Amino acid sequence: METKIINPSLVRLDAELGSTPEEVITSLAAIVTEAGRSTSEAELAAAAHAREAKSHTGVPGGVAIPHCRCAAVTEPTLGFARLKNPVDFGAPDGPADLTFLIAAPEGGGREHLKILSTLARALVNKEFVQNLRSAQSDEEVVSLITDVLNNPPKKKKKKSAEAASGAAAGTAAATATTADAPAAQLEAVSTLAGDVTRIVAITACPTGIAHTYMAADSLTNTADEMDGVELTVETQGSSAVTPMDPAVIEAADAVIFATDVGVKDRERFAGKPVIESGVKRAINEPRVMIEEAIAASKDPNAHRVAGTAAAASSESADSSSSLSWPKRIQQAIMTGVSYMVPFVAAGGLLLALGFLFGGYDMANAWQTIVTDYSLTNLPGHDITVDGEVMTLTKSGFMLYLGAVLFATGQMAMGFIVAALSGYTAFAIAGRPGIAPGFVGGAISVLLGAGFIGGLVTGVLAGFIAWWIGSWKVHRIVASLMPVVIIPLLTSLIVGLAMFFLLGAPLAGIMTGLTNWLNSMTGTSAVVLGIILGLMMCFDLGGPVNKAAYLFGTAGLSAGDEGSLKIMAAVMAAGMVPPIALSLATLIRPRVFTPAEQENGKSSWLLGLSFVSEGAIPFAAADPLRVIPSMMAGGAVTGALSMLFGAGSRAPHGGVFVLFAIEPKIGWLVSIIAGVIVSAAVVVLLKTVWPQKIVEKQAEAAEKQEANA
């Protein structure tokens, strides 16, 4: 809290401010206005009266805390009056002689609730209240109040997880009061917080890099602007997930799931009203989602998270989601992809490092090198493989290090299909689906069905495990279901289905796809590059973009030349939008809003890192001009990347994994060309067909200059 929130000019001791709450509030509003903290006494008083009309602000102990947000207030302010004649503010134990007026600016988010919750907790302390009653000067009162605002009482409960802190920490305090507070005081604090709707949210996307955190920020920032909303977000992204404090979940009135993948530990929210959507909706329509959650919290017939409180510790998947089955399958596949990507990233980069240190011909002898040689027995140029002597370009430590890195990468890549299958099944059936999913993925590799087989076995294993898990069995058998019976039966069924029925057809499809990719040259390769470029730039991290990315990353498991080219084209095209828009804001800033100009200063770095979502703020504000422009550049980049034959062993990282891409120059040229095209087109469209908001801002700027 800022120490300037109260000063001696905002304090009145032993004052006669009226005989009713309305008169006292009006007098306090006048005091705040006289102190220069409000531009209109009438507006401030009206806002405080309106809040008082909703529910009384008196609390036990002879205290009243009227509070409001008002456009007339210039900065968060606390006015205080010790009344000579106590006034009844509706407290159960009688009138109040200590009266606080908390006034916050209209755009001040939940600042007044933060002050309110801290102050209300401090009022539990009898010594603090007595000191206010015995204070001899305005300065002494300011010192007492400032001290408690800057050093709020310590809670005896366990500290909330990081997920429960941040934007919601201040208002969460209104419900997480000190353990020894009287019951009446706790009830009063809850009432004083107003008609606050407590919402918890989960955001998650397949890669867990950008959309996850953008959605969280969008929801949090919007909640800050809304009165009576307390929001806590748990981001289930690529970094470590800090689970939400169970106490925060327990106190929540509604839940928002803004995810493109399955929600981890969904049963923690069992019984809560829920609003579900893809992660992009939370970025584009955060206020609508929050309003829907508020409405759901008050609707006894609203859809709720399935399960019971007893199941909250279970990791099984929710089998009664409000999502349609096609949407659930899509989310399950995206979950599988999100767990697969780290294997692809680690494996692909290790393979690239292996080539960097050991040379490309090392790939033909790496198994012999890592098994027959060591740090004390380094290999020479000549290596015997299967009875034939191979002469390699490198030798000694560099060759051995390269082979070790390559071998480690190969092992990581060997898990790709199994991870894709296993975690796809997990998203559908929970833990019981993991083992049969992994088994199905391994069988797919054995039979040559590749990632196509992995997708099929993941979905198949997930549904079979989910179906078996729905059986009603004796309680003795029930304890064996998730760890023995479901994995056993599901693995058996999936294995039999693959070996007897599905394996050969899926392997044929995979072989045909691989041969087609490897045979692509000239026009066919360019056409595929154009399609991939258009897909990557169409929705900037949405389902179409993710489908193209899945196509690129899944193919890396094969390791063939065609798959590497696709990955390079996908990554190059995905880098274009943020860089192009950053360049456009630099070239012609006047056709962009000030907010877009500010975003342009950092979006180039997101683009270089292959974070396409850096362009979302531009596309969301002006989709008709931005998206076609980005698609044009993406198509150019995809086509040129395929034409130059660029291949990437890394699935992510942008220019920071340039060592894993060949030829480097051709790949960089394709990106530069696409950036230039996109930047030129978007500037042209915005110049010929300007946005209304930009025109209005330009007119306002001209008027301001004329007046100056």
Active-site residue set: 67, 205
Q: Which residue has 């086509």 as its token pair?
A: 639
* Spatial CB neighbours of 691, under 8 Å, sequence gap ≥ 6: 591, 593, 621, 622, 625
- Within 220-261, strands assigned E span 229-235, 254-259
CA 355 to chain centroid, in Å, comes to 35
What CA–CA distance (Å, rounded) separates 570 from 568?
5
* DSSP calls for 458-512: HHHHHHHHHHHHT----HHHHTTIIIIIHHHHHHHHHHHHIIIIIHHHHHHHHHH
Contact yes or no for 436/465 (Cβ under 8 A): yes
Crossing angle (nearest 10°) for helices 183-192 and 111-122 = 170
**Residue 153, SS3?**
coil
Cα separation of 338 and 261, whole Å? 8
How far apart are the two ends of the chain, measured CA to CA in Å? 38
Please give the angle made by the CA atoms of 440, 444 and 445, to the nearest 5 degrees.
120
Burial class of residue 341, CB neighbours in 10 A (0-12, 13-18, 19+): buried
Radius of gyration for the alpha carbons in the chain, expressed in angstroms and rounded:
31
Q: What single letter denotes the amino acid at residue 140?
A: E
Closest by CA position to 310, among listed 261, 268, 359, 256: 268
Q: What is the DSSP string of 180-206?
A: T--HHHHHHHHHHT-SPEEEEEEEE-S
Q: Which residue has the tokens 């002689």?
A: 97
How far apart CA 6 and CA 143 sit, in angstroms, is 9
Q: Is residue 21 within 8 Å of residue 63, measured between CB atoms?
A: no
Parallel, antiparallel, or unpaired for β 647-648 and 661-662? antiparallel
Q: Is 500 exposed, middle or buried (0-12, 13-18, 19+ CB in 10 A)?
A: exposed
- Rounded Cα distance between 605 and 601, Å, is 9
Compute the distance between CA of residue 513 and CA of residue 532 in angstroms, rounded to an integer: 16
CA distances from residue 35 to 69, 144, 145, 474, 532 in whole angstroms, order as listed: 17, 20, 18, 73, 62
**Angle at CA 578, nearest 5°, toward 575 and 579?**
75
Q: Which residues contact 665 (CB under 8 A, 6 or more apart)?
A: none
Q: How far apart, in whole angstroms, are the C-alpha atoms of residue 122 and residue 131?
A: 12
Cβ–Cβ < 8 Å for 191, 55: yes
In whole angstroms, give the CA distance from residue 251 to residue 37.
Answer: 35
At residue 555, what is the residue type?
G
Q: What's the rounded Cα separation, in Å, for the pair 97 and 400?
A: 82
Task: Give dist(CA 233, CA 245) in Å, integer.
Answer: 11
CA torsion angle 82 84 87 93 (round to 10): 80
Between CA 25 and CA 629 the distance in angstroms is: 56
Nearest C-alpha neighbor of 328 from the set 271, 276, 265: 276
